[in-house]
Amino acid sequence: MRQDKARAATATASASRARWAAGVSALTALAAAVALLTAGVARAQDGGAVQTRHGISTFGELKYGPDFAHLDYVNPEAPVGGEMSVWAFGSFDSMHPYTTKGRAGALSSIFFESLLEGTADEPDSAYGLLAESLEYPEDRSWVIFNMRPEARFSDGTPVTAEDVVFSFETLRDKGLPSFRAVIRKQIASAEALDTHRVKFTFAEDVPTRDLPLVAGGLPVFSKTYYEQSGADFEDSTMTPAVGSGPYILEEVDVGQTLVYRRNPDYWGWALPINQGRYNFETIRVEYYADYNSAFEGFKGGTYTFRNEASSLSWATGYDFPAVREGAVVKRELPDGSLAPGQAFVMNLRREKFQDPRVREALGLMFNFEWSNKTLFYGLYARIHSFWENSDMAATGLPSEAELALLEPLADTLPEGVLTEDAVMAPSSSADRQIDRGNLREASRLLNEAGWIVGDDGLRRNADGETLKIEVLNDSQTFDRVLNPFVENLRRLGVDAMLNRIDNAQMTRRERTFDFDMVIGNYPMTLTPGGGLEQYFGCESAETSIFNLAGYCSEPVDALIEEVKAAEDRDELRVAVRALDRVLRAERFWIPQWFKDVHTVAYYDMYEHPEIPPYALGNLDFWWWNAEKAAQLEAEGAL
C-alpha cells in the first residue's frame, strides 16, 4: 500500500549498464589480463599495497571472478524483443533527474552509466562497467579507474576520463544540495591521468571504506554535450543529456507517456555483466492521475505489468476476466530486500514537533493492527526499524558492543536508549479504530507537554495556539488510510486535517519543507555509509530532500561516522544497530508497514529466472515470450 509512495510501480531500472564490445583489440585484452594477474604486486608510496581488480567489495571477497561469463541469476540465452510497459503516478515536466527543479519523468536516469555496476545477489560489491579495472591501495585513500576505450555515448563520441572528471565536478558544484555536501566532504579531487585513466583522491580524516564504490557509482555525463549545447545542469529540461546506456529516448508525451528504446548501437552489448539483461526492445511508462484509473488501465491492457502496492486491489480487485481466463498472471515473488522505511514523517523544523512527548503521542494514534485487519486484508507486517527485515535492526537491550559506542554519548542520547529495549512501534487493538489505552497514554503525554484540552475539545498551549497538524497527501486512494488516522488525532484533541493536493504541489512543498506531516520513505541499504548523512545528518537538515524530518543530532552524526568506519560486517552490524536504536528513540517518524514478497500481476507474455535476493528485476533481467504475446493478441486480451 501507499504504493511505496506509489512510485514503486515504476521501479527504477539501473541506469548504469555496459558490456564488452566486440572490437576490443588483442593487445587491450592481454594488458587487462596481465593487470589482473599481477593484482596486489605493485606498491603504493603511501597507503599500502595496491590491488588491481575487476571489481571491489566493501567487505570480503567478490562473488564473481575476473573471467565470469554472466551473472548467476540471469538467463544468458534470454530472447531480445517485445515491450515491458508499467505505470507511473501523476505527471512530469522534466527529463533531468539530477536537479531539484521540475518533476523528472520515470526512469529518466536510464541513459547514464557509471564506472562500476552493482548486482542483485551481493549487498556490497560492484564490478567494472565503464571501467574495465580499478586500482586502489590497502587504505583506499585513492582509486584509479582504467576505463574501457571502446565505451561510447549514444551520439558515438567516446567516453573519456575527462567526462568522468566533468561529471564529478558538475555533481559536486551543481547537483542536489545534500549530495554536494556529502561528496565535498568525501572526495578531494578527480584527475584525468590520460584519456582512459581517472584518479579520485579522497579527503583526509574521513573513512574511506566505501569511497571507491561511491566514486565508481557516480553517473557519467558527456562533457562535449554540455559544452556544445550550452545546457545548464541546474535547469529543468525536457531534453535529456547524452548518456552511454543501453536505452535511448524514443517518445515523450508530456504528462502521459514515455517510451525508451533499446539502442542497437549500444557500445557494450557483449560485456559479461550485461548478458541476459536489458532484453526488452522498448520500455513504456503510462501516467495516470490516480491509482483507480491506473488499475482500470491495467485491466484494459493499456499497460502490461503491475507491481501491486494496494492491498485492497490485491485482495479484491483481481477477479476481472483476463485473470479468470489466464491472460493475466497474479503472483507473489520473494523479496529479500530491506523494508522501504515507509512512514508518516514529522517536520522537526516546526516548533510544535520539538517535544518528543508530542511526537510519541501522535504515533500512538495510528492503529496499524486495525488498519491491517480492516483495510489491508492482513497482508502486511509493521515496520519497527529503519533496517526492518534484516539483522541490522536493533532488538532488546543494547549489547556490550553497542554500549561501547553509546555510553560515550550518554549525555546527549534520548531517554532510555542505554537502559531500555529498542523502541518498537506501538501495538493497538485490531477490533477498534482507536485503541483506548493508547488514547489515554497519548493524552497523558500531551498534558505533560503543555497541550491542554479546552472547552471546544481542542488542545492548546500556554499561548492559546491549537496543536494544528496538516497531513499532506497526493493520492485519492490513500485517503482510506489517512482519514481514520486524522479522526483518531482529532479524538485526542489535535486540530488535525487531511489536505489532498496534486503531485506537483506535493513535490514543491516537500522540496521547500512546507509541511507538518507527509508520508515519506527511508530506503536504507545493507551496507550503509556516507549516504546516511543525506537522511539523518546535521549538515543536510536544512537542505536535503531526503532528510524530510529536518533531523539533526550530534550523537547520530557521531554514530554515522562509526558506521562509515566499520572494517567488517560484525563491526558494521553493531554500529548500525546502535544508530537504529537512537533514531527510533527520537520518534520523528510513525512507521507504517511492509511485506516480504513482491505482489505482481502481468499479462502472461513475460518470463523470468529465479528472483535474486535484492531485486525484482522486471525491467532488468525478465524477457518477452513472443509466442505467448501473439496468442494474447489473437485472443483479444491485448
For 185-223, write each residue's pLDDT tens digit: 899 999 999 999 999 999 998 889 999 999 999 999 999
Work out the mean pLDDT of the chain and round it to a whole number: 91
**372 — alpha (psi -120 to 50), left (phi > 0) or beta?**
alpha
pLDDT at 7 over 80: no
Q: What is the pLDDT of residue 40?
A: 37
Angstrom distances, CA of residue 546 to CA of 510, 521, 535, 614? 10, 8, 5, 22
pLDDT at 510 over 60: yes
The three cell numbers locating residue 257: 507517456
pLDDT in tens, 101-115: 888 999 999 999 999
pLDDT in tens, 64-86: 999 999 999 999 999 999 999 99
pLDDT in tens, 363-415: 999 999 999 999 999 999 999 999 999 999 999 999 999 999 999 999 999 99
pLDDT in tens, 105-157: 999 999 999 999 999 999 899 999 999 999 999 999 999 999 999 999 999 99
pLDDT at 346 over 60: yes
Q: What is the mean pLDDT of residues 525-547?
A: 91
Q: What is the pLDDT of residue 277?
A: 98
- What homologous superfamily does CATH list for 18-69+98-229? Periplasmic binding protein-like II (3.40.190.10)
Residue ranges matching CATH 3.40.190.10 in the chain: 18-69+98-229, 247-337+596-634
Rounded to whole angstroms, the Cα distance separating 289 from 477 reads 11
Contacts of 612 (CB under 8 A, 6+ apart): 72, 73, 119, 120, 121
- What homologous superfamily does CATH list for 247-337+596-634? Periplasmic binding protein-like II (3.40.190.10)
CATH class as words, domain 343-594: alpha beta
Residue 445: helix, strand or coil by DSSP?
helix
Q: What is the mean pLDDT of residues 39-58?
A: 73
Among residues of the chain, what percentage have pLDDT more than 70?
Answer: 93
Residue ranges matching CATH 3.10.105.10 in the chain: 343-594
pLDDT band for position 45 (50/70/90)? low
Q: What is the pLDDT of residue 23?
A: 32
Q: What is the pLDDT of residue 638?
A: 86
pLDDT at 164 over 80: yes
- Beta carbons within 10 angstroms of residue 217's beta carbon: 16
pTM: 0.81
pLDDT band for position 32 (50/70/90)? very low
